[in-house]
């Protein structure tokens, strides 16, 4: 699916969960079975769960994506960063950074299959290119962080037909994995 460009810095957030397991050690000869239990969180641990960014699905529709990105866009607008105001001349960089920082946890992550944080994303893109070539796309290759259509010739047919077939190939590859 083709997504319109948005203002923003792409930041990957790794959420590290904490927790420890310990096994209760019965006293010698007590006959009590050993049972694993969760350790109580330390006093410094927060009781509130960490907020996680929403993630786009590879099989999502444009409507699904629009619903997913709406809270992020609403937040940007609440911080004075209208989607309609893309003119760099009128955009205050400090205001833009402050708004994007404030809304960062609402910005959807890409589908896991396409996420640079996924160590298998290169394999996904390789398989999508193979699928596209199997469907007759002549000029398509794996590129940094994805795949490129059109080749050095900037072949219009490879680009337009490849864009039509890419969502189908992405879903096919994701379903196999």
User: Do residues 106 and 54 lie in contact, with contact meaning Cβ atoms separated by under 8 Å?
Assistant: yes
Q: Are 168 and 125 in a shared domain? A: yes
Instruction: Give the global pTM.
Output: 0.62
How are beta strands 36-38 and 21-23 bridged, if at all? antiparallel
78 within domain boundaries: yes
128 within domain boundaries: yes
Does pLDDT of 87 surpass 80?
no
- Provide the residue range defining the domain that includes 135: 112-176
Q: Are 78 and 116 in a shared domain? A: no
Confidence of residue 139 (pLDDT cuts 50, 70, 90): very high
Q: Are 66 and 83 in a shared domain? A: yes
Q: Are 119 and 101 in a shared domain? A: no
49 within domain boundaries: no
Q: Are 96 and 132 in a shared domain? A: no
pLDDT at 50: 56
pLDDT at 145: 86
Q: Are 96 and 141 in a shared domain? A: no
Domains: count for the chain: 2
11 within domain boundaries: no
Dist. CA 81–CA 137, nearest whole Å: 39
Q: Which residues contact 52 (CB under 8 A, 6 or more apart)?
A: 13, 15, 105
Cβ neighbours around 141 below 10 Å, total: 14
Does pLDDT of 174 surpass 80?
yes
Q: Are 116 and 160 in a shared domain? A: yes
Q: Are 125 and 94 in a shared domain? A: no
């Amino acid at each position: 699916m083709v997504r319109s460009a948005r203002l923003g810095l792409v930041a990957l957030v790794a959420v590290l969960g904490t927790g420890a397991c310990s096994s209760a050690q019965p006293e010698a000869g007590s006959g009590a079975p050993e049972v694993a239990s969760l350790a109580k969180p330390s006093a410094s641990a927060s009781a509130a769960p960490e907020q996680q960014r929403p993630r786009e699905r590879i099989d999502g529709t444009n409507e699904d994506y629009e619903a997913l990105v709406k809270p992020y866009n609403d937040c940007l607008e609440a911080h004075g960063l209208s989607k309609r105001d893309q003119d760099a001349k009128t955009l205050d960089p400090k205001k833009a950074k402050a708004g994007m920082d404030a809304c960062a946890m609402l910005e959807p992550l890409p589908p896991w299959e396409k996420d640079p944080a996924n160590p298998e994303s290169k394999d996904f893109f390789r398989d999508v290119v193979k699928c596209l070539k199997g469907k007759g796309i002549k000029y398509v290759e794996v590129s940094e962080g994805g795949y490129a259509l059109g080749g050095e010739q900037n072949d219009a047919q490879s680009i337009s037909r490849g864009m039509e077939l890419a969502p189908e190939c992405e879903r096919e590859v994701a379903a196999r994995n």
